[in-house]
C-alpha cells in the first residue's frame, strides 16, 4: 500500500518509504501497542484481505493523540475509513479515556477531510505539523459521547 504513489499523494512524509524498513515499523506499531495509542489492521468483514490501517498515536511532540488511517485505493469511497474510525474512536474514548483526539489532513485531501467531519471532528483551521501546513481537527470525548449511540 505505502509503495503506491497514489496512496502517498497526500501523506506528509515525502517520497516512497524503504519497503523492508517500513514493513518492520508498521508490524511493530500494530503488534506492540503504545501506552497512548495503537494501530489496527482493517479488513472486510466477510472476506480476508488487507485494506489498510486505522488507529491513534501521538501527534509529533505536541502531547496530543492523533487519529490516522491509510487504505489501499480499492477501499476508497466505500465507507471503510469512516466505519473503521468510528470503531477506533469508540474504543479510544470509552475504554482508553483519551481526550481530546485530533486529526490532521493535507489541505487538498477533501475525501479525508469529509471523513473527519462525518465523524464529528471540528475544523480548527490550519496548523503546522509534519513540517508542513495541515488542516487541523479536534474532537473532545464529551462531544463524541454526546453524539455517539451507546455501544
Task: Count CB-CB contacts under 10 A for residue 151.
Answer: 7
pLDDT at position 145 is 94
Which run of H or of E encompasses 20?
helix 19-31
Question: pLDDT band at residue 103, thresholds of 50, 70 and 90?
Answer: very high
Residue recorded with cell 467531519? 117
Distances (CA, A) of 62 to 58, 113, 127: 8, 21, 12
pLDDT at position 33 is 57
pLDDT in tens, 20-49: 887 787 677 666 655 456 788 899 888 888
pTM for the whole thing?
A: 0.83
Helix-strand-coil percent breakdown of the chain, rounded to 5?
35, 30, 35
Lowest mean pLDDT among 5-9, 64-68, 123-127: 5-9
Lowest mean pLDDT among 7-11, 38-42, 56-60, 78-82: 7-11
pLDDT at position 104 is 97
- HSE of 88, CA atoms in CB hemisphere, 13 A: 28
The dihedral built from the CA positions of residue 149, 94, 122 and 114, taken in this order, carries a sign that is negative
The Cα–Cα gap between 19 and 107 comes to: 27
Which run of H or of E encompasses 42?
strand 38-43
Please state the separation of Cα 147 from the chain's center in Å.
20
Mean pLDDT taken over the chain: 86
pLDDT at position 28 is 72
Q: Which domains does the chain have, with CATH numbers?
A: 7-147 (3.40.630.30)
Amino acid at each position: 500500500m505505502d509503495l503506491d504513489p497514489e496512496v502517498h499523494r497526500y501523506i506528509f512524509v515525502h517520497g516512497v518509504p524503504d519497503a523492508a524498513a517500513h514493513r518492520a515499523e508498521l508490524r511493530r506499531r500494530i503488534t506492540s501497542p503504545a501506552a497512548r495509542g495503537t494501530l489496527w489492521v482493517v479488513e472486510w468483514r466477510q472476506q480476508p484481505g488487507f485494506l489498510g490501517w486505522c488507529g491513534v498515536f501521538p501527534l509529533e511532540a505536541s502531547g496530543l493523540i492523533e487519529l490516522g488511517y491509510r487504505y489501499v485505493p480499492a477501499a476508497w469511497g466505500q465507507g471503510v475509513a469512516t466505519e473503521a474510525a468510528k470503531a477506533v474512536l469508540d474504543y479510544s474514548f470509552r475504554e482508553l479515556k483519551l481526550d481530546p483526539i485530533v486529526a490532521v489532513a493535507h489541505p487538498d485531501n477533501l475525501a479525508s477531510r469529509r471523513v473527519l467531519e462525518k465523524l464529528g471532528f471540528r475544523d480548527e483551521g490550519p496548523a503546522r505539523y509534519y513540517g508542513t501546513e495541515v488542516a487541523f481537527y479536534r474532537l473532545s470525548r464529551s462531544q463524541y459521547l454526546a453524539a455517539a449511540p451507546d455501544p
